[in-house]
Amino acid sequence: MGVSEKGGPQHATALLGEVERAAAAAGGWDAVGRIAVGVGPGSFTGLRIGIATAKALALSRGLPLSGAGTLDALARGLAEAAGGRPCLAVLDARRGEVAAALHAASGERLWGPDLSSPEALGERIAELPDVALCGGSGAVRFRRQLTNEAVEIPDDADPVHRVAARHICALATGGDAGESGPVAPIYLRPPDAERWRERDSLQAAE
C-alpha cells in the first residue's frame, strides 16, 4: 500500500478506494492474507494517514500487518535492473533535500536512510568503490547534482524510479506468515508543528 506526500481527509478517502480496488483485483478480501504498508521515509501527514489506514484495515479484517521501508522497496526494484551492481535509492525529500540509502547487490543495506542536500550526496557518491545504479524521485529531480562516474541514473521515464506496491509486499511478507511485523514510520526530520514550536520558543526567549 503506497502513500503520497499529500494528506488530509480527501487523501484518506481516496486511499481507501484504491485499497478496495486492489483487494477486488486480487480476488476479494478472502484472497488477501496480509496488509503491507510503506513506512517511509516520507511526509509526516502522508505516513500517518497511510499507516493508520493499514492498521485499521488489518484490525477490521483480522489480518496480520507488516511494514516495509520505501527506500528498501525502491532498491529492490533497482536490483532487478542492476545486473549485480550496488543500488542507490534516492527520494526527493522536498525543501531541497534528498533521502537516500545504498544497498549491496545482495540486497543488504550498506548505509541509510540518510537526509542530506543533493550536493552532499553527490560528494558521497563520488567515493563509492563500485559503480551503482541510482534511481528514485530524488535521482530524477537532482540528476545534475548526483551525476558522476560512480553512478548510472536511467532515463527519467524508466520505471526503476517508481516505488512499486509489489516490492513493498515482497519485503513485508518475510517472517511468520500468521504474525504481524513492526510498523513504525521512518521520519528523517521532525514534524513542522514541532519545528514551529521550537522556533516560537526561541523567539520568545530572545
Q: What is the pLDDT, as a whole number, of residue 103?
A: 98
Judge contact between 159 and 135, C-beta under 8 A: no
Phi, psi of 161 (to 5 degrees): -80, -5
Contact yes or no for 141/91 (Cβ under 8 A): no
Tell me the per-residue pLDDT of 110-165, one tens digit each, with 9 for 90 and over.
999 999 999 999 999 999 999 999 999 999 999 999 999 999 999 999 999 999 99
Q: What is the pLDDT of residues 57-105, one digit of tens each?
A: 999 999 999 999 999 999 999 999 999 999 999 999 999 999 999 999 9
Reduce the secondary structure of 3-43 to three states and give it as a string: CCCCCCHHHHHHHHHHHHHHHHHCCCHHHCCCEEEECCCCC
- For residue 93, give the C-alpha cell: 525529500
